[in-house]
Structures are given as C-alpha cells and as structure tokens.
Amino acid sequence: MNKTKKLMAGVAASVMAISVTGCGNNQDLPPEPTDTDCDDWDWDDDSGTYYCDDSRSSHFGYFWFAGRMFKNKSSLRNYSSYKSYSKSYKSGIGSGSKGGFGG
C-alpha cells in the first residue's frame, strides 16, 4: 500500500507540474516559421504574429503572417487578411488559434 501512495503522489505532482507549465502563452501558438533565413523567431503578443529577432538575418525585425514577411507592423496592419485576423485576435475570439498562419 505504501508503494501505491508514493506512486499516486508522484502522478499527482506530475499532473500539477504539467498543468502549471501549460498556463503559459506558448501552449496554443502556431508553429514558428521554418522556411526563412531567420534563426530566432519570437512571438509578438501585440500583433499576434511572430517576428524575426535574429540580428544576423536580412529579415531582422520582420513580422510573419499567412506565409508572408512584413518589414514592419505598419505594412502588416495594412494587409487585408491581417485586418480581419487582428480584430478576432484582439477580441479574444480565435486568440491563439492556428488559423491564418502559413509556413
């Protein structure tokens, strides 16, 4: 019976650790772009997209959305597909969803 209690305590601790770890924003993010010359993609909560944070890349500072790169937030916001995505992302409807991203 003692082994069973230890096993159950271990399972409970594991479940708790996983649930706490899963509370971060990264759990529902779309996959990072891979077919570019940027080696460091970071998530931008404000735009709901990835941006290149690789200072050695010619795409440093670019944003990635729907399989395209945008030189800055202004050009991203002017993209018609992003406008509808942005409205739903900002309102929380579809926030963190994997739709709308390519690559």
Boundaries of every domain in the chain? 41-85
Say what the pTM is. 0.61
| Burial class of residue 33 (count of CB atoms within 10 Å of its CB; 0-12, 13-18, 19+) | buried
| Tens-digit pLDDT string for the chain (103 aa) | 455 444 333 333 333 333 334 444 455 888 999 877 899 999 999 999 999 999 999 999 999 999 999 999 999 999 999 999 988 887 764 445 444 444 4
